[in-house]
Amino acid sequence: MIDLLQNYWLYFLLGQYPEGPLGGLTLTILLSVSALLLASPVGLLLGLARVSQHRALRWPVTALIFVVRGSPLLMVIFWAYFFLPSVTGQQTDQFPTMLIALAIFNGAYLAEIVRAGIQALPRGQMESARALGLSYTTAMRRVILPQALRNSLPSLVNQLVTTIKETSLGYIIGLAEVSFIASQINIQVLTMPVQVYGVLALTYFVLCFGLSRIAYALERRLARRPISSGAPV
């Protein structure tokens, strides 16, 4: 067990880097964070389109969200694998494929959170903002969204936990993230599958449990804050 850790810890953390491409746990974290950074604006835009007054905008986005949320993430990954090359005109690497798939998939889920947040506000908020002469965009940006997204930080951290777990599916398209690297180690060692996969499970646990505790602490802190002072996000 000690030998296993001594021989492979660097490979586990970094993949083949610096001799080869970056991988391992670092790639998992890098992919999760960038996927969430990309998914947040996607989710915001899709969520706004979901409550738009224009049917031409609302209907196709509603359909897209419905299809994405009804399909397994793996299916979205395969679609990205097939469609990206036809859009960009060249073979796409696993990292951008995963990144786009995760951004669309999580964007669809975040959009529903944004929509629910907006629709939970009393209609009077939008009506009075418009009555005071604000345009729809300004009212959305200055009045509705700050309130709708006020408590979104804990859900974003929770979404990061979900995203970290989802990056493990990169294994299936051969992305060298930490699950893939662990399987490579398992193939090389051959005799210690329980230990290899045990360490992999423990790694995810420490990362995700730690983050979900942070989200929980944030939630409690926000819950203590009075609503009146909470306009800016």
Partner 1 sequence: MMELDFSVVLSAEFRSWLIGGLVLSLQLTFITLLLALPLGIAVALMRLSSLAALRWLGFAFVEGIRNIPLLVHMLFWYFGATALLPEAARAWLYEHNAESVCAVIALTFYTAAYMAEDVRSGIRTIPATQTEAARALGLGAAETWRRIVLPQALRASVPPLVSQTVSLWKNTSIATVIGAAELMYQAQRVETASFRGVETFAVATLAYLSVSLIITALSIAYQRRYPVRPA
Q: Which residues bind partner 1 (CB under 8 A)?
A: 67, 70-75, 78-79, 82, 161, 164-166, 168-169, 171-172, 179, 182-183, 186, 193-194, 196-198, 200-201, 204-205, 207-209, 212
In the bound complex, what is the minimum distance in angstroms from residue 201's beta carbon to partner 1? 5
Written as six digits, the tokens of 33 are 């964070």
Distances (CA, A) of 46 to 83, 106, 108, 221: 20, 11, 7, 29
Distances (CA, A) of 216 to 115, 140, 154, 161, 219: 23, 28, 7, 12, 5
In the bound complex, what is the minimum distance in angstroms from residue 143's beta carbon to partner 1? 31
**Residues 85/88/90/91 CA torsion (nearest 10 deg):** -40
In the bound complex, what is the minimum distance in angstroms from residue 67's beta carbon to partner 1? 6
Task: Decide whether 82 or 136 has the Cβ nearer to partner 1.
Answer: 82
Task: Decide whether 62 or 183 has the Cβ nearer to partner 1.
Answer: 183
Task: Decide whether 17 or 109 has the Cβ nearer to partner 1.
Answer: 109
Task: Decide whether 28 or 147 has the Cβ nearer to partner 1.
Answer: 28
DSSP 92: P
In the bound complex, what is the minimum distance in angstroms from residue 187's beta carbon to partner 1? 10
Residues contacting residue 202 through CB under 8 Å, at least 6 positions apart: none
The phi and psi torsions of 44 (rounded to 5 degrees) equal -65, -45
In the bound complex, what is the minimum distance in angstroms from residue 196's beta carbon to partner 1? 8
Task: Decide whether 134 or 192 has the Cβ nearer to partner 1.
Answer: 192
In the bound complex, what is the minimum distance in angstroms from residue 141's beta carbon to partner 1? 32
Helix locations, 24-72, DSSP H: 24-50, 55-70
Task: Decide whether 26 or 125 has the Cβ nearer to partner 1.
Answer: 26
Residue type (1 letter), 8: Y
Q: Is 22 helix (H, G, I), strand (E, B) or coil?
A: strand
